[in-house]
Amino acid sequence: MTDGILTPDQILAAAQDVLRRYGPAKATVVDVARALGVSHGSVYRHFPSKTALREAVTQRWLDEAHAELATVPASDAPAGVRLREWLGALFRSKRRRALDDPELFATYVALVNESSQVVERHVADLVGQVRRIVDAGVARGEFAAPDPAATARAVFHAAVRFHNPAHAAEWSRPGIEDDFTALCDLILLGLEVR
């Protein structure tokens, strides 16, 4: 590969491979450049620092992991169905990544832990998706939520066991699906118009 045709997407793909191979503690920009067959200066032209590269890789991973979620709020289904589907899609995505490739998942958890601004933006986006579902439910008379923004945050945080990587060890335990269903039932009961 020549430096002239190098794209950020190619760099991010190579960085993901390097992270998988060496882990976040040992992976370097030089390793990424070597994997691409370019100078490390070529990588720095697209990403001004190792931190910027790692944040971009983290953002890409989070975006890929949660791509399916973005379509749920726009559905025309009842708000309760949408909220249950959204929470389920989030849980399935995280669990699939944690169980299918635990080493890469652990690498990304380490990156997420050092990319607080990326994570804050990402969480705000996820809570915003829940807010759109709650707003739609209130508008259609399906949900009672005097403060939809606070309700969206509460729903997101109530489901933390099913999406926060700190709980990944629990995601393969017997009964986890039943626990998830019970939580969704409880959330929806709390939002129900009486």
Judged by phi (left if over 0) then psi (alpha if -120 to 50, else beta), residue 175 lies in left
Residue 1 has pLDDT above 70, yes or no: no
To 5 degrees, how large is the angle CA 24–CA 25–CA 26?
95
Mean per-residue pLDDT, 156-185: 96
pLDDT band at 4 (very low <50, low <70, confident <90, very high): low
Per-residue model confidence as pLDDT tens digits over 79-136: 999 999 999 999 999 999 888 878 778 777 887 777 778 888 889 999 999 999 999 9
**Residue 131 exposed, middle or buried by CB count within 10 Å (0-12, 13-18, 19+):** buried
pTM, to two decimals: 0.85
Name which of 87, 176, 164 is nearest 133 in CA terms. Answer: 87
Instruction: Find all residues with CB under 8 Å of 193, minimum gap 6, and list them.
Output: 141, 142, 143, 144
Beta-bridged to residue 192, according to DSSP, are 143
Query: What is the number of other CB atoms lying within 10 angstroms of the CB of residue 169?
Result: 10
- Two structure tokens written together for 62: 């989070």
73, 86 contact by CB (below 8 A): yes
- Cα 49 to Cα 175: distance, rounded to the nearest angstrom: 44
Per-residue model confidence as pLDDT tens digits over 140-165: 999 999 999 999 999 999 999 999 98
Which amino acid belongs to residue 188?
L
- Cα 131 to Cα 148: distance, rounded to the nearest angstrom: 6
